[in-house]
Amino acid sequence: MKILVIDNGSRFLPQLLKKLAKQKVTIVRRGFLGRRRLPDFDVAILSGGHGRSIVNHRKFYKSEIEFVKKSKKPILGICLGFEIIAVAFGGKLSRLGKKEERGEVKIDALERDGILKRIPKTFDAYEAHKWVLKGAPCQLVSVAQSVDGIEILKHRARPIYGLQFHPEATDRKGIGYKILANFLREFS
C-alpha cells in the first residue's frame, strides 16, 4: 500500500512513521501541497500540526482544504487534519474552555465497525489541541465523542475519517495502532 503523509509539522511524525513502517510512505510538507504533482498513492494521512491553527488561518491551509474536497482517495486526518476535514465540509470549531487539552481523554465509540472494528466501546487516547467540533456538518457524521465534543468523524459518502486525538502517540493498550491498522485494512 502506498501512503501519502501530508506533514503539518506534528511533533508525533516519527511515531506515525514508525507505525507505518511496513508501508511505502511518501511525505509531502504542507507548504508544498499544490505546488507540485503528487506521487501516486492509495490513501492519504493529514498529520497533526504545531503552532498555527486553522481557525483564523484558513488561507494558510487552503491547499489542504481543496485536497480534502477534491480527492477521491481515502483520507485520514489526525488532530489538525481532523480540523481541516471538518472545516472543508463546513464545520465550525470552538475554542476549548481551558487553555489546551493535553493528555489522555476517555472516548466513547458510537459505532463499532469500520475503523473502530474490534475497538472497545470506551477507550483512552492522547490529545493535544485547543479546538473542538461540537456538531458535525451535514456531510459528516460523528462516530465517537468525549466530554469535549466529536473525537472521530467520517464522511457520509466518501472514504474520509478524522481523529481529533493522536493514535500515533503513546498508548499502552495499542488502541491507536489498531485504529490506524483498521483504516489501512479497510481501504487496501
Which of 79, 101, 127, 155 is the catalytic position?
79
Bridge pairing between strands 2-8 and 43-49:
parallel
Q: Mind listing the pLDDT tens digit for each residue in 11-58?
A: 999 999 999 988 999 999 877 776 678 889 999 999 998 777 888 888
User: Active-site residue 166, yes or no?
Assistant: yes
pTM of the model: 0.94
CB 49 within 8 A of CB 9: yes
Q: In angstroms, rounded to a whole number, what is the distance separating the alpha carbons of residues 165 and 163?
A: 5
- Give domain limits for the chain: 2-186
C-alpha cell at 171: 498508548
Which residues, listed in sequence order, are joined to residue 76 by a DSSP beta bridge? 45, 161
Residue 111: left if φ>0, alpha if ψ -120 to 50, beta else—which one? Answer: beta
CB 130 within 8 A of CB 97: no
Q: In angstroms, rounded to a whole number, what is the distance separating the alpha carbons of residues 161 and 11?
A: 21
Q: Which of the residues in the chain have pLDDT under 50?
A: none
pLDDT computed for residue 37 by the predictor: 80
Class of domain 2-186: alpha beta
Give the contacts of 35 (CB within 8 A, at least 6 positions apart).
Answer: none
pLDDT computed for residue 100 by the predictor: 63
Which of 57, 83, 168, 186 is the catalytic position?
168
Q: In angstroms, rounded to a whole number, what is the distance separating the alpha carbons of residues 34 and 159?
A: 21
pLDDT computed for residue 44 by the predictor: 97
User: Active-site residue 138, yes or no?
Assistant: no
Give the contacts of 36 (CB within 8 A, at least 6 positions apart).
Answer: none
pLDDT computed for residue 120 by the predictor: 94
